Amino acid sequence: MKIPFIDLKAQFRHLEERIRQSIDTVLDHGQFIMGPEVLELESQLAEFAGSRNAITCSSGTDALLMALMGKEVGRGDAVFTTPFTFIATAEVISLLGATPVFVDIDPQTFNVDPAKLDDAINSVKQEGKLKARGVIAVDIFGLPADYDRIAPIAEQHGLFVLEDAAQSFGAVYNGKRAGALGDVAATSFFPAKPLGCYGDGGAILTDDDELARMLRSIRVHGAGEDKYHNVRIGLNGRLDTIQAAILLQKLSVFQEELDLRQKVALQFTDAFEQWANHLALQSIPNGSRSAWAQYSLLSEHKKELCAALNEAGVPTAVYYPIPLHQQGAFAHLGYRRGDLPVSEHIAEQIFSIPMHPYLHDADIQNIVEVFNSYFND
């Protein structure tokens, strides 16, 4: 039998009655835009992450975009980020006319390398063409970036830190939750993310009340006192009430699901230990707990392993096959092969195996067995 890569149906079976009921409640009250569920969700998200404000919005991409709009990023600005991420992270920088500056990653955590970040900021400052404005750190695969090292560098240079927590909502870093690790954070409720809805959705989190006020305005066409009094350029960036109602149900079991993900990840990690000569895993630093959006491995035998897994009914995926500095969309930035060698190397060797809270022990065993027989042969 084929194992699903992410089993959304298993979660739905678990929550079906409550989700159908909560959708019915919205159909009955009819406040489809900014209904009471949206406000309730914002208060619960802020509390969960330990942030003063949560502003829900239409997607993770819009959350990133709105956060940069709130920081008034524009033409002539440099925003530093990792090339080993989904296109949205850097796309929003370019959308606002600013320039993404890619900084290579740490080979163990796959997150931006703080030492290289400092170097990159210094060279942009020295060159003097762009104004260094901010950093977008990505919590790749659910593992928070190293904010205790990133924050002092950013502060020293006067830059803001935007946490791309699209994959990491629910993760922990040195006693704090993802979403509360930068000056402002963006997360995504795309269905396949650890906390997903049944459509597009996202949220911005920040302790900065003034920024939160601005973001609420940006979310509704730059509204001032009301919707028809517009004080800045904004967009239509709201989360639907029905999605908020679904998310409230999913949030109520989210911590249990995070614990189940952790259990699955530990079983994989224990089982792969014996193949340490052939497989490298994302290393999880002390004090960090991943939200396990993906369970990823590195191998020189990637192609053969993925073929063997697929043959056995185990789907695989590659996040991400092309680092952003090598994407056609950013060709105008003039990066060359070899500029960010760690990202390039990891993109070649990485692949992900099924990961979700409802993965049965038997499925885990079957997946591990494919690795065992591949390496035993």
Ligand X SMILES: *Cc1c(COP(=O)(O)O)cnc(C)c1O
Measure the CA dihedral 20/41/194/48, to 10°. Answer: -140
**Can residue 343 be called a binding residue for ligand X (CB under 6 A)?**
no
Q: What Å distances lie between residue 321 and 112, 139, 273, 343, 359, CA to CA?
A: 17, 18, 25, 10, 25
The answer to whether the beta carbons of residues 204 and 215 sit under 8 Å apart is yes
**Can residue 70 be called a binding residue for ligand X (CB under 6 A)?**
no
**What is the chain's alpha carbon radius of gyration, rounded to the nearest angstrom?**
21
Segment 110-149, which members bind ligand X (CB under 6 A)? 138
**Can residue 316 be called a binding residue for ligand X (CB under 6 A)?**
no
Q: Closest distance between ligand X and the C-beta of residue 270, in Å?
A: 27
**Can residue 85 be called a binding residue for ligand X (CB under 6 A)?**
yes
Among residues 283, 347, 341, 356, the alpha carbon closest in space to that of 318 is found at 347
**Can residue 188 be called a binding residue for ligand X (CB under 6 A)?**
yes
- DSSP character string of 144-180: ---HHHHHHHHHHHT-EEEEE-TTTTT-EETTEETTS
Among 61, 82, 249, 296, binds ligand X (CB under 6 A): 61
Which phi and psi (to 5°) does residue 207 adopt? -85, -10
First to last CA, the chain: 24
- Give 239 or 364: the residue with its C-beta nearer to ligand X: 239
Q: Closest distance between ligand X and the C-beta of residue 339, in Å?
A: 21
- Give 56 or 59: the residue with its C-beta nearer to ligand X: 59
What does the per-residue mask of binding to ligand X show for 242-271, with x meaning CB under 6 A? ------------------------------
SS3 track for 279-333: EEECCCCCCEECCCCCEEEEECCHHHHHHHHHHCCCCCECCCCCCHHHCHHHHHH
d(CA 139, CA 342): 17
d(CA 109, CA 230): 44
**Can residue 272 be called a binding residue for ligand X (CB under 6 A)?**
no
Among 7, 118, 164, 240, binds ligand X (CB under 6 A): 164
d(CA 337, CA 350): 18
d(CA 238, CA 350): 35
Using CB under 6 A, which of the segments 117-125, 161-169, 214-222, 300-308 binds ligand X?
161-169
Using CB under 6 A, which of the segments 85-93, 143-151, 260-268, 337-345 binds ligand X?
85-93
**Can residue 290 be called a binding residue for ligand X (CB under 6 A)?**
no
Q: Closest distance between ligand X and the C-beta of residue 73, in Å?
A: 16
Among 147, 190, 295, 330, binds ligand X (CB under 6 A): 190
**Can residue 166 be called a binding residue for ligand X (CB under 6 A)?**
yes
**Could you count the other beta carbons within 10 Å of the beta carbon of residue 233?**
9
Q: Closest distance between ligand X and the C-beta of residue 327, in Å?
A: 14
Among 48, 80, 84, 86, binds ligand X (CB under 6 A): 86
Q: Closest distance between ligand X and the C-beta of residue 307, in Å?
A: 26
The answer to whether the beta carbons of residues 2 and 367 sit under 8 Å apart is no
Q: Are strands 279-281 and 295-299 parallel, antiparallel or unpaired?
A: antiparallel
- Partners of 185 in the β-ladder: 163, 205
Q: How many residues bind ligand X (CB under 6 A)?
A: 15
Q: Closest distance between ligand X and the C-beta of residue 87, in Å?
A: 8
Q: Closest distance between ligand X and the C-beta of residue 202, in Å?
A: 5
What does the per-residue mask of binding to ligand X show for 16-55, with x meaning CB under 6 A? ----------------------------------------
- Give 38 or 305: the residue with its C-beta nearer to ligand X: 38
Using CB under 6 A, which of the segments 84-92, 118-126, 274-282, 355-363 binds ligand X?
84-92
Among 167, 288, 290, 343, binds ligand X (CB under 6 A): 167
Tell me whether residue 227 is exposed, middle or buried, using C-beta atoms within 10 angstroms of its C-beta: 0 to 12, 13 to 18, 19 or more. exposed
Q: What are the residues binding ligand X (CB under 6 A)?
A: 59-61, 85-86, 88-89, 138, 164, 166-167, 188, 190, 200, 202
